[in-house]
Each structure stands twice: as C-alpha cells, then as structure tokens.
Structure 1
Amino acid sequence: MIELKTPAEVEAMKPAGAFVATVLDALEAHATVGVNLLELDKLAHRMIREAGATSCYIDYHPSFGGSPFGHVLCTSVNDAVLHGLPHDYRLRDGDLLTVDFAIELGGWVADSARSFVVGTPQDEADLQLIRATREALDAAIAVATPGHKLGDISAAIGQVAASYGYGVNTQFGGHGVGRTMHGDPHVPNTGRAGRGLPLRPGLVIAIEPWFMAGTDEIYTDPDGWTLRSVDGSRGAHSEHTIAITDGAPLVLTAPVASPAAG
C-alpha cells in the first residue's frame, strides 16, 4: 500500500535524512587505502549508537538474503554491485567502493548510497560509471514532481544508462520509504515515460540507479548477500531518499552543507 506523508511528517523525516548523509560523508572520508571494510561498518555502528538511531540492515532477512544481514552497512567493492556484506578486506588503491546505508531515527527511515574510488583512480571508466549513476539520479529527481508519473522517473534513469551504453538490471530498484525501509511503490531503473503511478505531494521514495560497466546480469556470492556482475565488470550506485512536494522535490539525504568560511 502506498502511503502519502503529510507536510508535518515529511518535516519529521528530515533528521533521519540528514543523519544518513552525515554518516556517508564520514565513511567516504575514512575509506582510504588499507582501511578494512569491517572498520567502516564499526564506524557506522558507533555513529548509529551515538545518535540513538536504529539500523535497518542488521536483522534484515528478506527472501533473497541467505541469512540475517548482521551488519549496519553495505560495502560493495569493484564487481560487487549491491548488498555487499562487510568482511575482512583491506581497501586497495583504485578500488571502486559503494556504501549503502539506511537507518530509522525518530520513527522515520532514510536510505542513501554513493560510490567513489579509493585512493587514486586507475581507470577513467570507473569515474564515468560513477558519473553516469549520479547523472541518472539527478535526471530522475528533476522529474519527481506533480504532473509526472512514476514511469517518467524510471525512463529518465534508463535514458542516461543508454546514453553511456550501459544495460540496466531490473531485479532491484528504488522503493517507497517511510516507517520501514522498503515499501510501495517499486521504482524500476528503466521504464516508459508517461506511464504508471501519478506523482503526488507526500510520496516519499528512494531513487537508486545502479549500473554495471559490461553486463546487466548478476549472481549471488557464497556469502548469501553480495551481488556481483557475471562478467567481473565494476558497478556503481547512487541513491537518495526524496519527498515529492507541491514544488521542487525535497532531497532528504542531500549532504549537509558546510558552514561558509569566514
């Protein structure tokens, strides 16, 4: 069931979104060459505890997961493209890392992901892949306004992917966000413009384009969670939780602006 939030409820979701952005900023700054993925998970866990938030991941066990997730952060490296289970791995120069993070704070959930290269980029193709997911996210957010339909969001993502020559896997995509992490509607990463659910103020969704450089097919790692590209090509993922309003969309997980230097 799709639930529309009142303006007051959308306002109440802002602290959760701001906290997710703050944690992702801290993780990106900490994810340097030699840092262990488990160390990143511990950092996120500590920040959750200090904020009085609750992880959406640690006990998460959907039908596609091999067991309860057991960590508070998804860390997907290189050909691991989604749901990367943190493990004993030290980041190397040039790794393409995606961190995906969702929590509940004050009764409301926020969910966001970002990809970046650790250390010195080794291949321009990695930067292009990351750039493509960010452009797709921006294009999708731009049409997330009343008068458009859900298909316009999906089509905007798919058009950016096609412009770069990337295929699109439709097994996983965006979703409704509210009191729980995953709700209706499902937001595919490709689709037909002008089709589907009319976008109305109060709809809160996570939009999350994720692309792979060489394929649109994935398989599940023996850990029961990590999804990898079938050809070993790298993946990137950009995600924001947004609220549709009477005007421009509100990006709840946008990075918090730093105070201007004075």
Structure 2
Amino acid sequence: MIIIKTPEEIEKMRAAGRLLASCHQEIKKRIKPGVTTWEIDQFVEKYLEEHGAVPEQKGYHGYEYATCASVNDVICHGFPKKEPLKEGDIVTIDMVVNLDGWLADSAWSYPVGTVSPEAQALLETTEESLYRGIEKAVIGNRIGDISNAIQTFAEGRGYSVVRQFIGHGIGSEMHEAPEVPHYGPAGKGPRLKEGMVLTIEPMLNIGRYEAKVDADGWTARTVDGSLSAQYEHTLAITKDGPLILTKL
C-alpha cells in the first residue's frame, strides 16, 4: 500500500533530508586519496549523533555500518573498509538518516582526486539521469515515466542501467511502496499523487548491467569488473512539482 504523507510529515522528512545533504557536503570535503571509507563511516555516525539523528541502516537485517561505501566496480551496499582510497577511484557513499522518526535517503558518487575521462563521464551521466527521472515525478504521471526517462537517457549515452536494485517509497520506514525501477516502458506502474515520497537512485555501469553479490551477502559488483556510479535523492510529489528533500 502506498502511504500518502501529510505536509507536516513531508516537512519532517525535509528536515532529515537537509541534515543528510549537509552531511554529504562534509563528506565531499573529506574524500581524497589516502582516506579510508571506514574513517568516512565513523565521521558520519558522529555527525548524525551530534545533530540528534541516527543512521537508519545500521542494524538493518544485521548491517553493521552507518553508511554503504561502494568503490569502483561495486554497485551498492559495499562495506566501509580501512583500505585507503587511491587517486582515480570513484566511491559512492549511501546513507539513510532517521531524524525524529522520519527518514531521508541519498547516495552520492565522488571522484577521488583526478579521475579518468571515462570515469568522469560516467559520474556526469549518472547524475544527469537522476535529474531526468526527477523531471517526470509530477502528479498524473506514472512510475514508468520516471523509469523510462532514466533508461532512455543513460542507454543513449552508451551506459547500462542496473536492474537488480531500484528506488522505493520512504517515510517512517526505509522501504515502502511503490517500487521505482530505473528502466522500463513509460506509461506503466502506479500513478503519481500529491503526498507520495520516493527515492530515485539510478545506478549506471560502463559495462553490463548485471550484478553479482559477494560472499558477505551485501556487496554487489558489476559482473565484468566495469565501473559503476549512483546518485540518489528523496523527493515528494507536490502540486508545484517534485520537491527534492535531500538537498540544502
């Protein structure tokens, strides 16, 4: 069942989203060669605690960390590690913030130092594909209109769209209805209504779209070792268009 949020509930999620966005701004300053994703994870946990929030995914189905940290060929759900990031890596930091019982979810991919033109193009296309999807998140459209806008743009640039992991509704629970794929035909799926709150979180690969999961049961990688990137916002469907909750 899709849960429609009241304006008051959306404002509470917006507060969580602003905190999350400010945390990402701090992360951006810290991502550089020699830093470990473990250090980033520790920073996030402390930052949220100082601001009266908690990392929602810590403890989720036994997950042990405040963030997911996915480097290079890791698509999503990578564990923070004590291995230093290297010049030319790309790393996605994904987190869900719980502030006063309401959630916001956002992932962002970062270049580590100077990256290759190939990696930079992947980052730019993935971020742009997110905004192409957000443009379609208006009352009266369907979920498939978001999905198709992302797939059409990404594949038009020569990238593949991950199918195994998708966006979702969100509120006081991390995963709510509806599911939000980043591929598929326009005009399909639930119709968008005022008060729906969604995550849109396309993951694009340079190579094939398929994912394989490591023995840890979490870390998802590209099957061919190609680079992967992800950008994600939480947004509300409003009468004035999509309202991005996870930005300042």
Normalised by the length of structure 2, the TM-score is 0.97
Query: Is structure 2 residue 9 aligned with structure 1 residue 9?
Result: yes
- The 2-side partners of 1:142 and 1:221 are apart by 35
Q: 2:198 aligns with which of 191, 197, 205?
A: 205
Amino acid at match of 1:111: D
- Secondary structure in structure 2 of the residue aligned to 1:249: strand
Q: Counterpart of 1:64?
A: none
Map 1:106-185 onto structure 2 (within 5 A): 106-121=100-115, 123-185=116-178
- Secondary structure in structure 2 of the residue aligned to 1:98: strand
- The 1-side partners of 2:37 and 2:91 are apart by 10
- Secondary structure in structure 1 of the residue aligned to 2:60: coil
Q: Counterpart of 1:86?
A: 80
For the aligned residue pairs, the C-alpha RMSD in angstroms reads 1.0
- The offset of 1:222, in angstroms, is 2.6
- Secondary structure in structure 2 of the residue aligned to 1:244: strand
Amino acid at match of 1:120: T
Map 1:236-255 onto structure 2 (within 5 A): 236-254=229-247
Is this contact kept in 1: 2:145–2:188, CA < 8 A? yes
Is this contact kept in 2: 1:17–1:252, CA < 8 A? yes
| Identity score, percent | 42
Q: Counterpart of 1:226?
A: 219
- The offset of 1:204, in angstroms, is 0.1
Residue deviations 1:6-49, cap 9 Å, x none? Answer: 11211221110001101111112111110111100000010111
- The 1-side partners of 2:192 and 2:36 are apart by 41
**Structure 2 runs not aligned, ≥5 long:** none
- The offset of 1:183, in angstroms, is 0.9
* Number of equivalent positions: 248
Normalised by the length of structure 1, the TM-score is 0.92
Runs of 4+ off more than 2 Å: none
Q: Counterpart of 1:21?
A: 21
Amino acid at match of 2:241: A
Q: Counterpart of 2:38?
A: 38
**Structure 1 runs not aligned, ≥5 long:** 62-67, 257-262
